[in-house]
Structure 1
C-alpha cells in the first residue's frame, strides 16, 4: 500500500495563488524482495541404512520449486513438499550405498522459484557440509599354511577394507582347530591370530568364517554376512602300526612273512627302519594303498 502525495501549498499559479491541501495518487504496490533460502539437514553424518530430512526454509512463499532446482552429491532426494504457507519445503535424502565421502553439500538454484509477486530468486542457497559413510566392512581371510599336520600351527590374517572395531574370537568360526584372540595392526585393518589344529583329526575340508555383523567401522556401520577363507586341510593323526608274523616259531630252513599294517598310507619305509634280532629281513614292499607292507624274515642259522 503506497501513494504519491503532492503538497499543493508548495506551488503557485501565475497569478500567485497557492494551492491548498494535497493531491494524492491511487495506491500502488512495491514488491522487490527476492526469495532467499536456508537449508538444514536433520542429520549431517549419514551411514548405511539411514535417511535424513532436508528442510528448505524460504524468506517468503514461493512457487515452482521442484527437484530440478536442487543439486546434491552422494544421494537421492525425494520430491520436495511444501507447508501450507509455501515457505518451508521438505524432502528425504537417501545416501548412496557403498560410498565414503566426507565433503558434500546441497544447493538450491534460487532462479527456479518465484514469490507471489513474480520475483525470481538469484544465485544459490547452500547447506552446511554433510558426510556420507555407507561402505560396510568386508574382509578377506588367508592362512599362511593351508595343509596342517601334527605339531604345526599357522597364522590366520583377516584383512578388512577399512578400520574396524569389536573383532574378537566370538566372531570367528574355525573348523578342526582352535584360534587365539585376534590382534590388530595400528590401522585396525589387518587382524592376525594363530590357528592350532585339533589333535588326532583327519579332515580335508575346513574353512574359517568371520561373522561381519560382529564388527563396526568408525562411522558405526556393521558388516553383513560372513567372510570365508579358502579350504584348508588338517591331518594330525600320527602314524601307528601293528606287526604280525605268519609263523612265530621258526626252525632251521624256514622263513616267514612279516606284515606291517599302518593306520594310514605311509612313505619311506625300508629295512633301516626295522630292527630284527636273530634274523634278516628282506626289503619291505607296499600294497597299492601303502597301508600294508610285507617282508620275508629269514632266521639266523645256528641260533636258539
Structure 2
C-alpha cells in the first residue's frame, strides 16, 4: 500500500475514506490515511488529521481531501507559471481579466484535474496567524476567476482544493455525571467522546458493578448494573477517579461520584400474649364477661402497628399502643370459654418499605363447672344445751367442710332469723 499521508486525530459524526477502487471505510481515531485515498466528511461530519510534518489539518462538513502525488510535475509547473504571470500583470497595473488568456485569467467554469487547460484551480488557502495587522488593498475585480485544478492545488502533499475548517483546539477536560437508579442501573454520562474507559476505572464501596456497556444510540453514555453487598444496609457509593479516562485529544477527564442508601433487610419484630385472667383460667363467671386479652411487642415494632388476635374461628383487630410496647383487645368470655388457646400476630414496616410479621400463641384453662361442697355444724356445747352460765359467755361455734371446699373458703354462720 502507498505511504501514510496522515493519521486521524479525532472524528465527529461519520467520516469515510474512499479508496482508489471506490470502496469506502468508516474512520475512527487512530486510523491512517494512505496516499491515493480521499477523506470525505459528508453533510454532518468533521475530522482532524495529523500530517507527517506534525501539523494538524481540520476538515469541516461537506469536505474532501487527498494527496495527488501522481500529478505531473509539468502540470504543476504550468500552473506556477500562470500564477506568476497573473502576479506580474497586477504588479504592472494591468487588469488580469482583460490582458490574460481565459485559461490564465479564469472563467465561470470549474473542472477537475485533467479536464483540459490544466491551469484551472480553486483552492482554499491555509493562513498561519502571525499577530500582524494589515489593511487590505483594493485591486481588480476577480469575480469569475475559477481555478479547480486539483493537481495544481497541492501544497507539500496536501490537497488545498477542499474547504478547510480552521478550528480552535478544545482544551476543556471531559467530565462525567453518575446516576444510580432504584432498579440498580447505573448511568455514566460524559460531556464529550472519551477513550480508555472500562470497568477497572469504576470504584464501588459496599457493592459491585457489572455489565458495563456503551449506549449504541449515545456514545457519550455508558450503563452498568449495581449489586449491593449481601445482607448489607447503608450507603453504596460508585466513583470514577480523576484521570482514569481521556477525551479523543488525550485530555484527562475529571472524576465523579454518586451514592445511594440501601435497605433491603426486613425489620425484626416480636410479640407475646399475657395470661387471659389472673389465674389463666376462664371460670363460669368469667365466661359470661368481656375479657381484655393483652400482650407486649418488641424489637422494631412501632406504635400503631397492626395486631391480629385469633381465638378459635374468631378474629379481632387492634394496634400497638402509643407506648410502642403493649397492646390490648376485648374478647367475649364465652369465646374464650369455648376454646383453650389464643394466637396473635403483629405486622411492622420499616421506612424503606420492608415488611415483617411476627406471631405467637398462648394456652389457658377453662373451668365453668361449680365445685362440690359440704358443711356441718358441731354441737354448740358438750351437751348441746345452753345453760344460765353459758348464756353469759361467748360460745365457739365449730363445724366441718368437705368435698371440694378449700382452706380459706368463706363460711357464714347465722343464728336466729
Aligned residues: 221
CA distance in 1, matches of 2:300, 2:209: 28
CA distance in 2, matches of 1:182, 1:87: 54
- 2:310 maps to 174
Q: Which has the higher contact order (CA 8 A, sep 6+)?
A: 1
Residue 108 to residue 180, structure 1, CA distance change in 2 (3 Å): same
Distance apart, 1:192 and its partner CA: 1.5
Q: Secondary structure at 1:140's aligned position in 2?
A: strand
When normalised by structure 1's length, the TM-score is 0.54
CA distance in 2, matches of 1:89, 1:162: 42
- 1:126 maps to 257
Q: Secondary structure at 1:236's aligned position in 2?
A: strand
- 1:221 maps to 354
- Say whether the 8 Å CA contact 1:180–1:194 is kept in structure 2: yes
1:231-263, CA deviations, whole angstroms, 9 ceiling, x for partnerless residues? 42121222335xxxxxxxxxxxxxxxxxx6xxx
Distance apart, 1:125 and its partner CA: 0.7
When normalised by structure 2's length, the TM-score is 0.42
1:156 to 285, 295, 312: 295
1:83 to 215, 228, 232: 215
Distance apart, 1:57 and its partner CA: 0.6
Q: Do structure 1's residue 67 and structure 2's residue 190 form an aligned pair? A: no
Q: Runs of 5+ in structure 1 lacking a partner?
A: 11-22, 44-50, 242-259, 261-272, 287-304
CA distance in 1, matches of 2:351, 2:246: 43
Structure number with greater Rg is: 2
- Say whether the 8 Å CA contact 1:202–1:237 is kept in structure 2: no
Residue 133 to residue 162, structure 1, CA distance change in 2 (3 Å): farther
RMSD of the alignment, in Å?
4.4
Alignment of 1:256-271 (within 5 A): none
CA distance in 1, matches of 2:299, 2:330: 19
Query: 1 or 2, which has the higher strand percentage?
Result: 1
Q: Do structure 1's residue 40 and structure 2's residue 176 form an aligned pair? A: no
Residue 138 to residue 96, structure 1, CA distance change in 2 (3 Å): same
CA distance in 1, matches of 2:400, 2:326: 55
- Say whether the 8 Å CA contact 2:292–2:328 is kept in structure 1: no
Residue 65 to residue 195, structure 1, CA distance change in 2 (3 Å): farther
Deviates more, 1:153-162 or 1:175-184: 175-184
